[in-house]
Chain A
């Protein structure tokens, strides 16, 4: 037997440098963060420039109710009143129902039922607002007109109800998240002390979940404040007078009104030009709206970690029998509250499927529209896909960079500031994005209506969603993983490249899909910047003056012509197609999330 000496292959001499130092990573992360800040600055900046370009009488804008551009009278109080009434009505209806439903979903239903139902609620929360608007105009308006004896049924009440329906799924979904974040051992500890289910929920589960549930309401409120399209279709858009007595107030509910967003979504911003007092007043209204939404969003997302330390001392609440009866009563109420959103879901599905049945005919997908309201919607589908694909390509690197930077804390303060900026950008009313795009891209840069302008205007809708999902994922990186990586001598940049990015990208893709699902249904930003109702080629050539047709704006235009049965059929069909597209994007996002982030649907 011979012995061989095994020799190692020679090792290349140590060059002394680090392989792949990845310094470029920082450039990318800061570029992303800078883009987020710049986008918000652009929106605020154009409003500011507009205000500076003409004299705004803030006293008049905030305290006078008459709005008459021909007489140079710009009072916005009636619109602020309209916004307040509509949002208050929406909250009064939506909050009790949503909270009850959320508690029922997370505390009462067995997981077998709660899981699919929770998924449905999340799907419902992503239904494009134009679809809610369509339902409002086709279903709700006739009912209101019959009850309140208003011709047409356009009214503040109708707008409030549509908004309530629209924000209920959002509030339920976020509240359920807050409730399921309470660990089961807390429930067990309370049950094992002899509490009834109602008492367990009230004393052990709600206190830690309360701030999250309050945040859910504020997020819903932000959505209601910023919603333009669904309200536009049912509110009647009459510059109203302010009520002076309670009777007049009640009366005003059943009459047409105007809100801040509907004023901005109407024809006036286009008529106002791009400078002068008229435009300045419009920009002033926009700034008021942005401030309201930003306040609600920031208030809603901060201070989640504050514990519920100041709990009111509970007094004893009755005998054993009374406790049981109360337990049963509350259970009935909560399950009843759950019934409403469930019925809503079933009703909406039934409406869409029966009225939008043309969407199940393949020729509807693959032929282009003929005449005013005939044929299929091929061009609109292609246009929508083109818009959101371009938006996705533009938004992905920016959102990813910003999200990672927020997550890994360049410094605690930058992260906090950046997070706030991202949240505000995410909550910015999309009508304002559309107006900014109209003023900057279409008018100043002379693009006219352009698909690229539309895609750019949608970028601020998608970027915050990507950034926030990404940063949440970065924060969930186990501390040991970071510690081990750093103690092996990686630089920060190498740590980002080898640990953070591989760990995070699935969440980023989820965020991208969620954001695109939202962008696909956006109507307001596209109206002035990118789309025409008819006559654009299927695929645009060039950038300047090359509009597309898109599904949401198609539905929007058709639904304003609700007297024409053919237009109505076409609108429902298009809505069904849009919902299907959104649902596909969303299911892909949910599937990805479950695949990569572990089972999330646990109750």
Chain B
């Protein structure tokens, strides 16, 4: 099986010291890989290192390969981010309707008619397990959705890009049990179709969803607050 993401000896450092790593892992086509560790171990930081969204002042070194492309540190670009899509921990809903949100990334990267775009959005919403709940109100403001629905909308927005891989950062940490189950169902449904790297602090969740697990043990003093400059 081909790897979608290959990471070797990846480190995240500030100017004078190594904050995270070194870590090495692969995420295979269609597999779900868990990234576990205590709070502050640098799980979120690693996800951001993969798509070049590290907070200011932090840099990555080590080897990173996405599909057949080797990404040198600092060379990640918009194309990379459209191939492996990060879904942040706190769902961000942009202004505008549910449909606007589902198409937020896609309409920037795909030249297509409104009809085709809408079809892709519907498919993505279905894949994220949100379609049934919003099918009749695609044009209503997305701000009105519940927390669990927002998280799945963010997932749908990422899936609409038909990415090779998804980076999920604690997707259920802010949700109640019922919403968590729904999001977990959506993630489980991705198995076999998309490469998923799932960050979680909950071992049982990793057990339920993942084929392989990467453990980060040493806590480090990285602040997870991401700032994009």
Interfacial residues of chain B within 200-220, with CB under 8 A of chain A in the complex: none
Do A191 and B107 touch across chains, with their CB atoms under 8 A apart?
Answer: no
B196 at the interface (CB under 8 A from A): no
Does B174 touch A at the CB level, under 8 Å?
A: no
- Closest-CB distance, A326 to chain B (whole angstroms): 11
Task: Give the contacts of A194-244 with B (CB-CB under 8 A).
Answer: 194-196, 199, 203-204, 207-208
Query: CB within 8 A of B226: which of A185, A207, A316?
Result: A185
Q: Contact partner of A309 among B108, B141, B225, CB < 8 A?
A: B141
Q: Given A194-B81, A194-B161, are A316 and B107 neighbors across the interface (CB < 8 Å)? A: yes
Contact A191 B79, beta carbon cutoff 8 Å: no
Task: Please judge, given known A-B contacts A110-B229, A203-B104, A314-B107, whether A192 and B96 are in contact too, CB under 8 Å.
Answer: no
Min CB gap B207→A, angstroms: 27
Residues of A within 8 A of B227 (CB): 111, 184, 603
Number of chain A residues close to chain B: CB under 8 A = 38
Q: Give the residues in chain B near A8, CB-CB below 8 Å.
A: none
Query: How far apart are B159's CB and chain A's nearest CB, in angstroms?
Result: 11
B105 A110 Cβ-Cβ under 8 A: no
Question: How far does the Cβ of B194 sit from chain A's closest Cβ, in whole Å?
Answer: 15
Pairs across A and B, CB under 8 Å, 11 listed: A183-B92, A185-B92, A186-B92, A188-B86, A192-B51, A192-B88, A195-B78, A199-B108, A308-B95, A315-B107, A320-B79
CB distance from A396 to the nearest CB of B (A): 38
Which B residues have a C-beta under 8 Å from some C-beta of A?
Answer: 51, 53, 56, 77-83, 85-88, 90, 92, 94-96, 100, 104-105, 107-112, 114, 141, 143, 154, 157-158, 161, 167, 225-229
Across-interface contacts of B51 in A (CB, < 8 A): 191-192
> What residues of A have a CB within 8 angstroms of the CB of B77 in the complex?
324
Among B104, B141, B225, B226, contact of A193 (Cβ-Cβ < 8 Å) = B104
Cβ contact within 8 Å between A195 and B105: yes
List B contacts of A317 (CB < 8 A).
108
Residues in chain A near residue B157, CB distance under 8 A: 193
Cβ of A311 under 8 Å from chain B: yes
In the complex, chain A residues whose CB is within 8 Å of the CB of B111: 316, 318-319
B47 nearest in chain A by CB position: A192
Rounded to whole Å, the gap between the CB of A38 and the closest CB of chain B is 41
A426 to B89, CA, bound (A): 43
Starting from the known contacts A192-B86, A193-B161, 4 additional A-B residue pairs (CB-CB under 8 Å) come to: A192-B167, A194-B161, A320-B79, A320-B109
Does A374 have its Cβ within 8 Å of any Cβ on chain B? no
- A194 and B79 contact, CB distance less than 8 A: yes
Interface core residue of A108, A185, A207 (most chain B CB under 10 Å): A185
A324 contact set on B, CB distance < 8 A: 77-78
- Report the Cα distance A203→B78, complex, angstroms: 15
Residues of B within 8 A of A111 (CB): 56, 227, 229
Residue of B nearest to A108 (CB): B229
